[in-house]
Amino acid sequence: METSAAAAAQQQQPQAQKRPREERDTPPQEGSNGSAHATFSSESSVTMPAVSTELAVDVDKPETNTQASAVDVRRSRSRGLAAVGPGSTSPVAATRSSTDGGINCQPAAAVTALSSFSASADARRFKQPTLAAYGMVSDTVALKKEISDRDSHIEELNREVEGLRAEVGRRDDQIHFMDAQCRQYQKKLEHFQLVMRQEMLSAAQKDRSEARRLLYQKHFELGQTATWHSNGQTVWMEGDRVRAMFLKLADLTQKREEVEALKKAAQSNVKHLARQEREREDSGAGPDLQDALMAAQMEYQLRASEHAALTNTIADIKLKQTEIEHEKKAFVKEMRRVNDEDTSEFLAIPTIGEGDRYVLMHLLGKGGFSEVWKAFDLVEGRYVACKIHHIQREWPAQTRTHYLRHAQRELDIMRALDHPHLTHLYDVFPRGDNMFISVMEYSNGMDLDTYLKRYRTFKEADARLIFLQIVDVLRYLASLDSPIIHYDLKPANILLHRDDPTILDVKITDFGLSKIIGTTREGPSDNPSIELTSQGTGTYWYLPPECFETSSTPRISNKVDIWSAGVIFYQMLFGKRPFAEGESQRRIWQEKLIIQSARTLHFPDTPKVSEEAKDIIRGCLAFNERERCDVFQLSQDPYLFRTSRRSAHKAKSTAPAVVGSSSLPLIPPVTDAAPAS
């Protein structure tokens, strides 16, 4: 039976292929079950594989389809079996059963299965070559091989899964261990921070107590302020050391006057005896006056030596008085700081920030609407400066907006700046509705203003080094895409970064009054300018004449900072400011003293400084802004990079020389003129 069926299939297959595609694809019509059954019975072994191939491949291109891999064949077979569904017979299986003749296959069921398979294949757009297309005789062998391959792959995947599960378990153990370690370290860190907080609070309390003890001790030595009960006027009462120095100076001055009188008398006596001795030698008569003349000369030398010693002592006392005056200025500044600290609300608030991160140590200074505290950062383990900005509740809305705008501008500027000689901004956070705090880099040394009050001047080489760092910062600010004018450059805003005063590493701070030269700039690209809309602000001793022009709105550039730097350089060299020294801010503004005095620049005779330094100062303090040097010219001046001063301009010591016997005339010249006073 198998042989006859195969022969019939071979005879009829060419005829089936010659029939049009439409006829082969047309399903049997209703009511023609007999013909359909007859057709299926005679051509089932031919038609079924042809239909299956029609569904799976493009019969017009069998060569291309036969190039598919065996994997694609197995996938096609698997999808074909799945498309028939449970309880149904696939077309290929029906064909095989009809051919073998071992299974009774109903034609209607086969047609139904064929239609179901065709619809499912069309829906999935299934276009894979079937096993029949490759001429595989036994589908069972292929399925068994595919199942075996898949079982092997499943076993391999299971082994990988087990390995991954073991790795995940190991990683979980590591994570749990690290979590436990982190929790342990976190507890230790919290404990250390707690201990450190207590230690820093204790140290802060000790420092405050020590500061008040020293202040109390010094007020006996240097003096203190007192208020008269009659009129309420505040006066300064000198301390014991100052009064003792005044008394000693008065006593030495009186004694020197007495010795000077004796010296003049001895000088007159020497002249008188010398004249008599000449007359005796000329006349040849009279007593011998050599012994008397020798005694008079000895008396004169003794009185002259005593007078010189008293003069030196008085000069030393006056020098000490000058030092005490500078010490008094620093003492008054410290006394004001302690008073501000005692009245600050943060004296009773030891810590601020999230998690009490910052421990407040002591007040550094207080301005109009802000105060700066030295604090310790428990997270980073470093000292910082916390600037506390106060927003008064009673301020009108316009004032509040103006202050917030300036404060925000200062913070924006500090965030954008990155220079080794500029103070860095670390953090900003609010505190309540009327306060916010900015955390900045802390400098261990004193500010330049305190240094000058205490030591008065710098050596020229040291002053040049500080001035060079200031110029470097100004060049950086002028080189930005939106240049910045500091506008409040003064010694109080220049910090010595190290606590060792011999290491002159400085930091510039406080950009509260700074101006940003934006799109409204005018002038050349290397020196743009903007309108000054906030006249009356700043520190007047360090502002140039154009800032005091009130007839019209002046324009300013970075040459404002050049002027300020020149004033600071002058002050470091000579111990005083070049213009309006000793005048109040109010009088300087009302009477425009800078405009009146800045046209003439005077250099004191002492201390001696080089001509190059004076030329630098003249260039910075030119009255006309157009004639003033800009920062790029100034930064290239060879004087700033000299390692030593030229011998022609070396400073000479101004201290009085020690008077010895070799410095006194043995015999004063004898003249008829009156003794010099």
* Rounded-to-integer distance, Cα 72 and Cα 138, Å: 17
State the DSSP string of 376-398. EETTTTEEEEEEEEE--TTS-HH
* Rounded-to-integer distance, Cα 397 and Cα 403, Å: 10
CA 334 to chain CA mean position, Å: 29
**Sign of the alpha-carbon torsion through 134, 138, 140, 145:** negative
Nearest to residue 561, comparing CAs of 629, 647, 640, 496? 629
Encoded tokens for 339: 């008073």
Instruction: Indicate if 60 belongs to the active site.
Output: no
* Rounded-to-integer distance, Cα 667 and Cα 270, Å: 8
* Rounded-to-integer distance, Cα 122 and Cα 324, Å: 107
- Whether 387 has a binding-site annotation, put simply, is yes
Residue type for 577, please?
R
* Rounded-to-integer distance, Cα 299 and Cα 451, Å: 47
Main-chain dihedrals φ then ψ at residue 557, nearest 5 degrees: -140, -170
Angle at 88 between CA 147 and CA 149, to 5 degrees: 5
* Rounded-to-integer distance, Cα 474 and Cα 469, Å: 9
* H-state helical runs in 344-447: 397-416
CA 336 to chain CA mean position, Å: 30
Q: Which of 377, 488, 561, 630 is catalytic?
A: 488
Residue type for 140, please?
T
* Rounded-to-integer distance, Cα 619 and Cα 627, Å: 8
Count of alpha carbons within 13 angstroms of residue 606, beta-carbon side = 4
Strands 435-441 vs 425-430: parallel, antiparallel or unpaired: antiparallel
Encoded tokens for 560: 């404002």
* Rounded-to-integer distance, Cα 51 and Cα 320, Å: 121
* Rounded-to-integer distance, Cα 606 and Cα 574, Å: 8
* Rounded-to-integer distance, Cα 436 and Cα 352, Å: 11
Nearest to residue 106, comparing CAs of 40, 42, 46? 40
Residue type for 270, please?
V
Q: How many helices (H) and strands (E) does the chain have?
A: 18, 14
Nearest to residue 197, comparing CAs of 353, 2, 401, 13? 353
User: Which residues sit in the known binding site for ATP?
Assistant: 387
User: Which residues sit in the known binding site?
Assistant: 387
| Residues marked as catalytic | 488
